[in-house]
Amino acid sequence: MSNKKSFAKSQALFLKAQEHLVGGVNSPVRAFKSVGGTPLFFDRGQGAYVFDADDNRYIDYVGSWGPLILGHAHPKVIGDVTKTLNKGASFGAPCHLEIELAEMVKQAFPSMDLVRFVSSGTEAVMGAIRVARGYTQRNKILKFTGCYHGHTDSMLVQGGSGIMTLGIPGSKGVPDSFVKDTLVAPYNDVEAVRSIFNEFGNEIAAIIVEPIVGNMGCVLPENNFLQELRNITTQYNSLLIFDEVMTGFRSCFGGVQKDFGITPDITTLGKVIGGGMPVGAYGGRKDIMSMVAPLGPVYQAGTLSGNPVAMQAGISTLTELMKPDFYTNLLDNATQLEDGIKAIVADKGFTVNRYGSMITLFFTKTHVKDYDTAITSDTEAFAKFFWNMIENGIYIPPSQYESWFLSGALTKEDIKTTLAAINESINNN
C-alpha cells in the first residue's frame, strides 16, 4: 500500500535528544517503549495530517492526545491567537478573555457555577481534590483502577495511560503517606464501591472518575454505573468529580454529563478548552467553589493561569464547535470508522470501543469493561499493528492503552484510507 518509509532524521534527532532530555523525551509514552523502534519527531501539522522530520505524511488520530479536535493549525484559531500574542503572551493579571472563555465553558457545562482556570489537566485535578477535601472536611478520595488523573502524587495509584504502557504500578518518589487516603475500586464495579463506602463512607471526600475512560483505552460505563456513583455519593454526603479532561467536547458541546444526564459536583477540564495551548479548568457548584481563595480558605494559584494566549485559543476552538454541523460531521466519521473496523476484525473477534470521537481497537477477544479486561490485550500484536499503520501513513497512539481521537478536519476519503490501512495492517500482523 505504501513504499517503505525512511526515519533517518527522526533516528538522528532521537540520538541527540537522549544526550539532553530524560530518555530523549518529555513525556514517557512518546518514547515508544511499548511498540519498540525509534520515536517519530514531528515537524508540522495541517488539518487532519502530521508530517515527521523525514517529511512522511500521516493521517493523525492522536491530535496532541485530544485537544486538536479541529485538526492542526486551524486558520481561525491560528489567526486569533496570533493577534492576541502580538498584544503580549502573559500578564500575570486578569484579562477580559478569561471571562469570555468562562462563560462559554459554563454554557457547555451548566454544573459549573464558578470556574478556575489553570495550566494543565493535572493542575485541575489537584485543585478539584483539594477543594473537595476542604469543603467536606474529609481526607479520603476514591478513584478507579486504570483511570489516569494526571501525575499528582495521590493519584498515581493503579493509574492508566503511560503507567500501564510502561508496566509501572505507581511511581517511585511518592511516599506511602501521600497515597494512604486514596482508595481504589475496579471501574464498572458498583458493588466494590458500595463495599468501600460501607467501611469508609464518612471519611470519603469524593469519588473521582473518568466517566468514559480514555487512559486504559476507551472504556464505557455499564449497568447504570455513573448514576450509581451519583446515588452513592449523595447518600454519604460525598462529592462526585467528573474528570472530563479527555471526554469534554468529544461527543457533544457538554461532555459525558450532558450525554448521560448526570450532574457532578465538580468537573475538571483541559486539552480542548485550550485549542492546543496548555490549559485546564475545574469548576462546580457555587458553594463548593466559594471555598477556593480568594473567596475561601482553599489555596490554589498559578502565574500562567488564564493567560491570554490559551484563553483565546480556547474561545476560538469552542466557537467552531458550536457551529451547527460540526458534531454531525465528526460523529458521522466516527461511526463510519467504528463500523469499518468492526467489519475488518469480525473474524478475529477483537473488541472495538467508541465514545463520540474517541475509539480504541483492543487486540483481545474479551469484552473490555475495566482494567482487568483491558490488560488481556495482546500488546505484541498491537506493536506490529502500530508499525504497519505507520508504514501505511496512519499515526495512532503508540500504546494499546490509549484512545484514538478523530478531528473535524478528517474527510470521508481519510476514513476510507484509514480503513484500508487497518485492513492491510491487521492482515500483515
Please list the active-site residues: 148, 243, 271
Say how far apart CA 23 and CA 27 lie, in whole Å.
9
Say how far apart CA 24 and CA 145 lie, in whole Å.
29
58 class by beta-carbon count within 10 Å (0-12 exposed, 13-18 middle, 19+ buried): buried
Which neighbouring-strand residues pair with 268?
A: 243, 282
- Output phi, psi for 69, to 5 deg: -70, -20
Q: How far is CA 364 from CA 14, 286, 346, 350, 423, in A?
A: 32, 44, 12, 5, 17
119-156: b (≥16 Cβ within 10 Å) or e: bbbbbbbbbbbbbbbbbbebebbbbbbbbbbbbbbbbb
- Output phi, psi for 235, to 5 deg: -60, -40
* Angle ∠(11,17,20) on CA atoms, nearest 5: 160
Say how far apart CA 212 and CA 257 lie, in whole Å.
10
Nearest to 60 by CA among 419, 414, 363, 355: 414
